[in-house]
Chains A and B, each alone.
Chain A
Amino acid sequence: MANNFTRSFFLKTNLLSLTTILALFKSKETHHLNMKIFSTPLKSAHVVVHGFALAHAITAMSIISIYHTDPGIILSILTITMLIILARINDYPLDVTMALTLICCLAGFFLGTIGAEIIVKFFPVSAMTAQVITTVLVTEMLGWITYIIVRRANRKE
C-alpha cells in the first residue's frame, strides 16, 4: 500500500509540474502572471532553469522507481523544451536554436551517463540517487550555458 501511495504521489507530482510549466506559457488567464515572473530575462531564466531541473529530478525519480526503466527519452524531451523556452524568451533565431538544442541534447546524454557512473564510483549512493543528482546538475549546467550564449548573442540594436 505504501508502494502504491509512493507511485501515485510521484506520478501526480510529475504530471502537476509538467502541466504547470506548460500552463505558464500557454494560458491566457495567467498572462499577467507571466509578465510578473518574466519581467527580466534573468528572472525568467532562473524560473525556467530551476523549474526544469526540478522537473528532471521528479521525472527521473518517478520513472526509475515506478517503471524501472531508463528515463532518457522523457528527460531529453524536458531538456529540449527547456532550451527552446530559453531561446524563445531571448528571441534567438529558430535555426540556431536547433543547432544549440542538438548539441546540448548530445552533451546532456553523454554527461548524464558518465556523471552517474562517476557518482556511483566515488559516493555510497544508489544508482537512482546518482541519476537524479546527475540529471539535476547537467540540466542546470546546460540551462545556464544556453542562457549565457543566447543573451550574449542577442543584443538589442
Chain B
Amino acid sequence: MNKTTDSKWREILILAGIVLLFRIFYVEILDYLKSDYQFDFENILKNIFREYPISLFIAVAGFFSIRRINKHYSWGENPLLRILLFILASVAISSIVTMLYCIPKLKQLSWKDLVASGHIEGAFVVTTVLTVTIMGSIDIVLYYLKSHKKALDAEILKKNKARFQYEQLKRQLNPHFLFNSLNVLDYLVHTDPERASGYIKKLAGVYRYLLSKESDPVVYLEEEMEFVNMYVNLLEERFKNGLEVSIKIEDQYLKTLVIPCSIQLLIENATKHNIISESSPLFVKVYAKDHYIYVENNYQPRIRSDASTGVGLKNIDGQISALFNKNIEISKLPDKFIVKLPVIENKGSQLFFKTES
C-alpha cells in the first residue's frame, strides 16, 4: 500500500477511536453518576430544554463555531485538525452552558455542594452530548447544502456549455454565412483570381478554427484575434467600403482568455442588425481597456420584421458567468452600441485546454 492509503487508514482509525472513546465516556460516566449520585439524565435534559436561552445559546454558538471552522478549513481538507477544532468548540460551549445551568443553583447550594453532589459533572455530560449532537447535525446539513449547490452549479455550467456548443455548431453550419461567402468567391474568381485564392484560404482558416476550438471552453485572446482578422477580411471583401473594422489590442492582453468565437459573434451581430452601405458605412471598433474587451459600433439599425432574440449574447454571458463568475456589459446609446467582454487573466488555466471526450 502507498503512503496516502496508509495515512488515510490512520485517519480512519483515529476517527473511529475518537467516536468510541466518546461513546465509552458518556455511557460509563452516566452509569457511574446514576449509581453513585442517583443522577437523572432525562431530568437534566428536560431542564436544559426548558431553559430556552440555554438551548438557543447551544444552537447559535454551535452554528457559528461550525461556520468559523469551515471558513478556515473546508470539509475534507485536513480532517484531523477539523475534528480537533470541533471537539474543542463543543467542550468550550458545553463548559459555558454548564456554568449557565449551575449558576442559578448557587442560590440553594454552595460550589462545594454542587461538585460533591455530581451536579456539575452530570450537567457537563448532558450538555456535551447535546452540543455534540447539535453541532454534528449542523455540520452535516451545511455540508449537504454546499455539495447540493456545487452539484447545481456543475449542472448549470454543463447546460450553458452544451447550449453554447450547440449554438456554435449551428453557426458553423450557418448556410447564410457560407452562401454569402461563396457568392463573393464566385465574383472574385471571375474578376480577380489571385484575391479569390487568398479569399479561399481565409475561408478555410475560419472553418478550421471553428472546428478545432468547438470543444475548448476558452482560448487565448491572441488566437481569437487571428481568427477575427480572417473573419473581418472576409466581411470586408463582401461589404467593401460599407464596413470598416478597427482592431487595437495591446500586447499585455494577448495572453488573456476569452470564450472562442465570442468577439466574432459580436462583430457578426453588428453586421446583422445594422445598415451597411457606402452611404451609411458601419464602423466597428475592437479595443481593450480597463480589463475589458470593447466591441463598439455606430448604431444604425436595419428595419427588420423579425426582432433580435439576443440568444447569442445570452449564451456568451452564460458561459462567462458559469466559468468565471463575471458578466458581459451592454450599453445601448442613441448613436453607439457597445458590448464589454470581461478579460480573464490566465492563472494556470491549463485544464481548460483538455478537450472533453
Interface residues of A, Cβ cutoff 8 Å to B: 72-73, 76-77, 80-81, 84, 88, 93-103, 105-106, 109, 149, 152-155, 157
Alpha-carbon gap, A54 to B144, bound state (A): 30
The interface residues of chain A lying within 8 Å CB-to-CB of B132 are 102-103, 106
Alpha-carbon gap, A95 to B76, bound state (A): 7
- Kindly specify which of B11-19, B52-60, B200-208 makes contact with the partner chain: B11-19
Judge whether B277 is part of the interface by a CB distance below 8 angstroms.
no
Provide 27 A-B residue pairs closer than 8 Å at the C-beta atoms, listed in order of the A residue: A73-B23, A77-B20, A80-B23, A88-B12, A93-B143, A94-B12, A94-B83, A97-B15, A98-B86, A99-B86, A99-B135, A99-B139, A102-B22, A102-B132, A103-B133, A103-B136, A103-B137, A106-B129, A106-B132, A109-B27, A149-B140, A152-B144, A153-B143, A153-B148, A155-B147, A155-B148, A155-B150
Number of residues of chain B lying within 8 A (CB) of chain A? 34
- Let me know if A101 and B19 touch, CB within 8 A: yes
Partner of B82, one of A95, A105, A152, A153: A95
Judge whether B169 is part of the interface by a CB distance below 8 angstroms.
no
- Let me know if A95 and B86 touch, CB within 8 A: yes
A155 to chain B, nearest CB (A): 4
A106 to chain B, nearest CB (A): 6
The interface residues of chain A lying within 8 Å CB-to-CB of B103 are none
Partner of B139, one of A73, A77, A80, A96: A96
The interface residues of chain A lying within 8 Å CB-to-CB of B154 are 157
By beta carbon, the residue of chain A nearest B78 is: A95
Interface SS majority for chain B:
helix
Partner of B15, one of A98, A152, A155: A98
Partner of A80, one of B20, B27, B83: B20
Interface SS majority for chain A:
helix
Alpha-carbon gap, A33 to B118, bound state (A): 54
B157 to chain A, nearest CB (A): 9
Partner of B79, one of A72, A80, A81, A95: A95
By beta carbon, the residue of chain B nearest A107 is: B133
- Let me know if B140 and A99 touch, CB within 8 A: yes
A96 to chain B, nearest CB (A): 5
- Let me know if A94 and B143 touch, CB within 8 A: no
Alpha-carbon gap, A72 to B11, bound state (A): 24
- Let me know if A95 and B140 touch, CB within 8 A: no
Alpha-carbon gap, A114 to B24, bound state (A): 18
- Let me know if A157 and B82 touch, CB within 8 A: no
The interface residues of chain A lying within 8 Å CB-to-CB of B20 are 73, 76-77, 80
- Let me know if A98 and B18 touch, CB within 8 A: yes
Name, among A81, A153, A155, the residue most crowded by chain B CB atoms within 10 Å (CB to CB): A153
A147 to chain B, nearest CB (A): 14
Judge whether B151 is part of the interface by a CB distance below 8 angstroms.
yes
